[in-house]
Amino acid sequence: MPGLIVSIAVEEGQTVEAGQTLATVEAMKMENVLKAERKGVVKTIAAKAGDSLAVDELIMEFE
């Protein structure tokens, strides 16, 4: 979704658990908390707090 990255709550190489908060995106005047769907490891983070996102723009990848 298009929006603004408010915060990134993880780091590259970090193991995350299902339900863990990954990032917060502000879109349409609402804050949307993005959470991990399953356990994994953050491979890369392509965005940082303050970045504007286009539709379908990559925020982070997992191994």
Going by DSSP bridges, is the β-strand pair 52-53/3-8 parallel, antiparallel, or unpaired?
antiparallel
Q: What pLDDT is attached to residue 26? A: 96
Q: Give the predicted TM-score (pTM) of the model.
A: 0.89
Q: Where are the domains of the chain?
A: 3-50
SS3 category, 45: strand
For the record, the structure tokens of 15 come out as 């193991």
Q: What pLDDT is attached to residue 38? A: 97
pLDDT (tens digit, 0 to 9) for every residue of the chain, 63 residues total? Answer: 689 999 999 999 999 999 999 999 999 899 999 999 999 999 999 999 999 999 999 999 999
Angle subtended at Cα 11 by Cα 10 and Cα 14, rounded to the nearest 5 degrees: 90
As assigned by CATH, the class of the 3-50 domain is mainly beta
